[in-house]
Amino acid sequence: MNEKESWIDRIYNKVTAPQTIRICGYTVLITFFGLIVLGVIIASAVGPYNIVDNWISDLGNHTITPAPFLLDIAVISSGFLLIPFYFYIEKYLAPIPRTPEEIQMSPGRYRMCYRLMGLNFFFNFFGTLGLIGVGVFSEDRDIVDLHFTFSVLLFGSFAIGSIFLGLRISFIEQPLIPKPFNYLVGIYGIFVPFTVAGFALFNLSPSWEWVLFFVILGLILPTFVFTLRHAENNLKMKNKS
C-alpha cells in the first residue's frame, strides 16, 4: 500500500475495484430485475394490476399488491449498488492523465471527456437519488407528494444524463464498450431517452411511464453489462499477474 495514499483514495480504489463491481453488478441484476418481475407477477395475479392501466409506483401500494415491499427493496438497494458503477465508468471514460506528455498530446480530448462525464455523473447522481427516494417515499409512505417529485427526478435525470454518456462513447475512443456497439448504444443514448421523456411528460399516463422505463433500461442495461464485462476482464488479468 502506498503510504502517501489518503483515506479518500483508499475508499475510492476499493469502491472502483473490479471485485466490487462484480459483486454489485450481479447483486443488482438479481435484486432489481428479480424483485420487479416478481412484484408484477404477484400484483397481476392477486391484485387489480396491469402495466397498461397501473403506474410502476403502484407496485409499492398495499391496496393494489400484497407485496409492496418488493418494489421498495428493488429500487433502494439498486440505487446504492449502482454508485460504484458510476465511479468505475467515470474512472475509465474520464481518465486522469498521468504525465505532462499525455496532456500535451491531446488536451482537448481530456477536457471534453471531463466535461461530458462530469455532466453524466452529475445527472446520474440525481437519478440515483430519485431511485432511492421513490422507494423511501413509496405510495404507502408518500409525504407532500415527494413520491412524484422523486419519480420526475429519477426519469428526468437519467434521460438528460444519457445524452452526455452517448456523446462520450460515440465520438471519443474509450475502453468500456467495444465497436460497433458503442455507436449503437451512444446514438441511442443521445436521442431516444430524452425524446421519449418529452412525450411522457406531456402525456402523463401509466403506459408512457412503462415505455420510458424500458427505454431508459435500453441504455442502462447494455452499458451496465459492458462495464461488468470490463471489470471481469480486469479481474482476470489481475489474477493472472
Mean pLDDT, all residues of the chain: 91
d(CA 122, CA 119): 5
Give the pLDDT score at 112.
86
pLDDT at residue 234 greater than cutoff 80: yes
Q: What would the pLDDT profile of 162-193 be if each residue is shown by its tens digit?
A: 999 999 999 988 999 999 999 999 999 999 99
Tell whether the torsion through CA atoms of 137, 140, 142 and 148 is positive or negative. positive
Angle between helices 206-240 and 146-171 (to 10 degrees): 50
Question: Which cell goes with 91?
Answer: 474512472
d(CA 188, CA 182): 10
Q: 240: pLDDT confidence band, cut at 50, 70 and 90? A: confident
At 122, give phi and psi (nearest 5°): -60, -50
Per-residue HEC secondary structure of 156-198 comes to: HHHHHHHHHHHHHHHHCCCCCCCCCHHHHHHHHHHHHHHHHHH
d(CA 137, CA 145): 9
pLDDT at residue 238 greater than cutoff 90: no
In the chain, domain spans: 7-240
Q: Among 5-19, 146-160, 164-178, 191-205, which is the least confidently predicted range? A: 5-19
Model pTM score:
0.89
Angle between helices 107-136 and 146-171 (to 10 degrees): 160
Give the pLDDT score at 100.
61
Q: Among 63-77, 84-98, 130-144, which is the least confidently predicted range? A: 84-98
